[in-house]
Structure 1
């Protein structure tokens, strides 16, 4: 068992953001959340992390509703990487990564040897060891994103939630990041815009549109030309290189420009 959302609904300002959404990721697998801007992906991730509460439905961890669990208990299990993170406090890269160890430490206690090993390993795995002493505010957007990934790794989670983690990253670091995440063996739910990255790295996909699930299944089942046209309003050519199950999409143009 792992983290699940069952028929969750969320409203904001009188507007329905999520409408009866169910997500049941396989333990240890990678589930991709797809959908255009405003479809509810970020809100769903916040519900799964416990930052927001659903108006109806329930989010469970190992079958227990999140409100029944202590916040520290959830924080030890579930790590979150949001689209943007910032701080006004003067922190080094290593300081930011150490924040991932807070759920594992007693209040006001100094970092243990185990904490420092976890921090060092997270820096190494994200290629940031030589940046450990660098001030956070001097980093580029892509570098900051990698530091947030390192912070999440230092937390040693069993569930990992990522909201557009490849934003601000160049192509090499996008691939390196997703290679790292998919190799962790933890239950991962990741919101992505790039359909080809989702097809290449996710075991299952959930497509949101207008706050509702319009499709769920394997990349081959979900990423059809007809569905991409319906959800995103673009024409694509879908191929399956080497007769594999993972499709590749080539964008042909916007449906609104068809025949122009």
Structure 2
């Protein structure tokens, strides 16, 4: 395992947010974090990134606790895409993407050709080359999300953490983005609300409820009608193709509503 959480706990305002959660994403795979709002998905991602520290338990990178590593070394390895990003500074799209190169440069040193090549590649992969000189503030929410993905790619990480990256995106761009993430030669952990997107793109999923992992495994193993009812409070019909690989979830209604 490259990046892993071992029995981590986190509290906020006297409330238990995560309660003994363990997660070991498979190297090179896509792990989905599922669960209703408030289940602890975003907090777990921030612990994995080293932005927050667990009250107990440990997050490790290549077997070493994150606090034992230099922050710059972690930043070179682990890229994070948050749900919302903003800036008061007038920046172009290319300027924002260049921020991904900061962990690879010493302070006050100008970019080198490798930095600009990484930025160009990231813009191309996210379909933003023609927006490079456009102001960040003129972009839609979905376009800003794509820029943040490009910034993370410019960082050239080995681990990529994404918190609801498909928010604000139309269906085509949701699929394009997750196609891109799934094709990357990195270890990805992505928080998602859409169970069908998780089933389509994730190699493994972990379902959180009330700060605990209640199920983990392949989408076919985890996404059952009973689990969807217990965790989300809705009735669902789940069909599995002949190969038994990628289930499809059809929500029928809440448990309190008749058919």
Could you tell me which residue of structure 1 aligns to residue 21 of structure 2? 21
Could you tell me which residue of structure 2 aligns to residue 199 of structure 1? 199
Could you tell me which residue of structure 2 aligns to residue 239 of structure 1? 239
Q: The residue matched to 2:73 in structure 1 has which SS?
A: helix
Shift of 1:240: 1.2
CA distance in 2, matches of 1:112, 1:240: 50
Divergent runs of 4+, >6 A? none
Could you tell me which residue of structure 1 aligns to residue 228 of structure 2? 228
CA distance in 2, matches of 1:221, 1:208: 15
Q: The residue matched to 2:256 in structure 1 has which SS?
A: helix
Shift of 1:244: 3.3
Alpha-carbon displacement from aligned partner over 1:85-122 (angstroms, at most 9, x marks no partner): 00000000000000000000111011110000000000
Alpha-carbon displacement from aligned partner over 1:119-154 (angstroms, at most 9, x marks no partner): 000000000000000000110000000000000000
Alpha-carbon displacement from aligned partner over 1:75-94 (angstroms, at most 9, x marks no partner): 00000000000000000000
CA distance in 2, matches of 1:51, 1:251: 35
Shift of 1:43: 0.3
Aligned length: 259
Deviates more, 1:174-183 or 1:249-258: 249-258
CA distance in 2, matches of 1:109, 1:90: 21
Q: The residue matched to 2:133 in structure 1 has which SS?
A: coil
Could you tell me which residue of structure 1 aligns to residue 5 of structure 2? 5
Task: Find out whether 1:87 has 2:105 as its counterpart.
Answer: no
Q: The residue matched to 1:122 in structure 2 has which SS?
A: helix
CA distance in 2, matches of 1:208, 1:241: 25
Q: The residue matched to 1:52 in structure 2 has which SS?
A: coil
Shift of 1:26: 0.6
TM-score, structure 2 as length reference: 0.99
Shift of 1:226: 0.4
Q: Which runs of 5+ in 2 are unaligned?
A: none
Where does 1:115-130 land on structure 2 (aligned, <5 Å)? 115-130=115-130
Q: Cα RMSD (Å) of the superposition?
A: 0.7
Q: The residue matched to 1:256 in structure 2 has which SS?
A: coil
Alpha-carbon displacement from aligned partner over 1:217-244 (angstroms, at most 9, x marks no partner): 0000100000000000011110013433
CA distance in 2, matches of 1:142, 1:44: 24
CA distance in 2, matches of 1:246, 1:73: 36
CA distance in 2, matches of 1:169, 1:221: 28
CA distance in 2, matches of 1:242, 1:136: 46
